[in-house]
Amino acid sequence: MMESVISQRTARDGLPTSFLAEKGRPPVLWRVERDLVSYPDALAEMDRLAAEIALGQASETVWLLEHPPLYTAGTSARLDDLVEPNRFPVFETGRGGQFTYHGPGQRVAYVMLDLKRRAPDVRRYVAALEEWLIRTLAAFNVRGERREDRVGVWVRHPTKAGEGEDKIAALGIRVRRWVTMHGVSLNVEPDLAHFGGIVPCGVREHGVTSLVELGLPVTMEDVDLAMRREFEVVFGPTRTPSD
């Protein structure tokens, strides 16, 4: 059984940023939750869907949601990066990476795609996720950038001097039987003080930001529309459960 976890930066120079399915594949199911979803419930649903996708019994799916405030520990998490262990619930998870925060105002997108029917190339998939986030930010005139020495998507912060920059989006994935799990999170309007209970993704030299902190009064619905539009550019057509 093939299973891999992405936990650190890998070279992606020259990799294609599109990740389209083979011709004739049905559109990706696009699900949006309006209520907060508990982390254990999300993991259970993701496990179920990934198993069914691997067996050809379910459509590839992108699931957009928000969690109540919590911290998750990836496979590379270090205990000393959990600064306030009693602040919010802490969940161990099989995704790559270190500690991260999820909470209201942050758009989490769990992405379950069948790489066998796209390209069985995890590095290329990571590059495509980054491209999706960067294109989404560009829709709001925000320049998102990759960094080869650390994960996530970063923005140069206009209120910080010199080379000040903050993380605005995070990635953490797992691949089981060539079906992807977990995905990305984009800070729309979370309480940024909640990140203070951890060292986010093990990076101490830089902070975190959000679209609203950057002066953009966008709504979650605005972000969802942009994410779907740019997802289709990178990964191909989508459909909603009502289609």
Summarize the annotated binding site as residue ranges.
95-102, 170-172, 183-185
243 Cβ contact partners less than 8 Å away, ≥ 6 residues apart: 27
For the question of residue 201 being annotated catalytic, the response is yes
10 Cβ contact partners less than 8 Å away, ≥ 6 residues apart: 123, 126
List the beta strands (DSSP E) in 200-240. 207-208, 238-239
Instruction: Choose the catalytic residue: 119, 133, 201, 223.
Output: 201
DSSP 114: B
Q: Which of 237, 99, 106 is nearest to 184 (CA)?
A: 106
Residues in the annotated binding site for substrate: 95-102, 170-172, 183-185
Amino acid identity, position 32 = V
- Active site residues per annotation: 201
